[in-house]
Amino acid sequence: MKFGVPLGLVHPAAWRDVAVAADRLGFDSVWLPEHLVFGTDLSTAAYPGSGAPGIRPQTPLFDAPAYLCALAAVTEHVRLGTAVYLYALRHPFAAARAFATLDQVSGGRAVVGVGAGWYEGEWRAAGVDFATRGRRLDEAIAVSRRLWTEPTVEHHGEFFDFPEVAFEPKPVQRPLPVNAGGESRAALRRAATLCDGWISMPQTLRGVRPKLDLLRELRAAAGRADAPFEITVHAAELSGPDEIRHWERLGVDRLIVRPWSRTRDAVPALIDFADRYGVRHAA
């Protein structure tokens, strides 16, 4: 089992220290969430399933790929991922460039975690149609795949249209992994048919099982049952090291864990977790 660390669940002032500790201890990856902008009108900010606002407009927001580039400079091993990046809020040129740069700067450690998003106010503020966000994301992924691999690209689609262009440098990784986040059927379809993996919301063993079953069905229907595919689950909680084998039996490749409750405890908690769960660098 690989273990990831959610940097978004500690204060930004601690991101560097937590990332460096995760790298030194043998954690597989660190992950940043992402939003482009928050509006002050909370009428469209109810988090799905809760009814309560899912944002605070005064929350500091950072450009995730740019910040991960800074973390790449002080780490050597950890993969650097977004969970998740609102890819379709940008033109594919901008988004693909950001992650190609991260992959180059990090020596091939980028993971492109993408999502369609839930917060309508952000899309309104950016002047992008919220209702078409899923289709925009699917097209943006397809365009980016071509930019990252083909010598020149011309595209005429529903949302993006451009003449032949060159896009250099290419990412170090071939392919640069794109993982889809979200738990709706549309999100699972996107992961199964267009992406290299899936990233869950916080989940339990029981709760994630039907999601994984549906993923397998969708991948089989798409003829991708045997294609490489990485499953990343945010673990809501872990009862202890013995639980890990149950996640592995479900086919989970990586657990994103938060063994702390306060930012000041994050690094000591990672040290303790690494010792208890046998975290180490991959051979």
The phi and psi torsions of 279 (rounded to 5 degrees) equal -70, 135
Average pLDDT over residues 31-52: 89
pTM: 0.96
79-82 and 29-32 strand pairing? parallel
Closest CA to 106 of 61, 165, 173: 173
Average pLDDT over residues 114-139: 96
Average pLDDT over residues 59-88: 97
Predicted confidence (pLDDT) at residue 104 exceeds the cutoff of 70: yes
Contact between residue 17 and residue 69 where contact means Cβ atoms under 8 Å apart: no
For residue 65, the one-letter residue type is P
197-203 and 161-166 strand pairing? unpaired
Binned at pLDDT 50, 70 and 90, residue 110 comes out as very high
Closest CA to 25 of 268, 273, 274: 274
Query: Distance between CA 44 and CA 51 in Å, rounded?
Result: 10
Query: Distance between CA 149 and CA 146 in Å, rounded?
Result: 5
Binned at pLDDT 50, 70 and 90, residue 35 comes out as very high
The two tokens of residue 280 are 């180490």
The phi and psi torsions of 217 (rounded to 5 degrees) equal -60, -45
Instruction: Kindly report which listed range (49-53, 136-140, 190-194) carries the lowest average pLDDT score.
Output: 49-53
The two tokens of residue 15 are 């991101």
Q: What pLDDT is recorded for position 44?
A: 83
Which residue reads 């991101």 in tokens? 15
Q: What pLDDT is recorded for position 48?
A: 82
Burial class (CB in 10 A: 0-12, 13-18, 19+), 163: exposed
Average pLDDT over residues 257-272: 97
Query: Distance between CA 15 and CA 30 in Å, rounded?
Result: 9
DSSP characters over the chain: -EEEEEGGGS-GGGHHHHHHHHHHHT-SEEEE---S---S-GGG-BPTTT-SB---TTS----HHHHHHHHHTT-SS-EEEES-B-GGGS-HHHHHHHHHHHHHHTTS-EEEEE---S-HHHHHHHT--GGGHHHHHHHHHHHHHHHHH-SEEEEE-SS-EEEEEE--SPPSSSSPPEEEE--SHHHHHHHHHH-SEEEEEEE-HHHHHHHHHHHHHHHHHTT-TTS--EEEEEES----GGGHHHHHHTT--EEE----SSGGGHHHHHHHHHHHHT-----
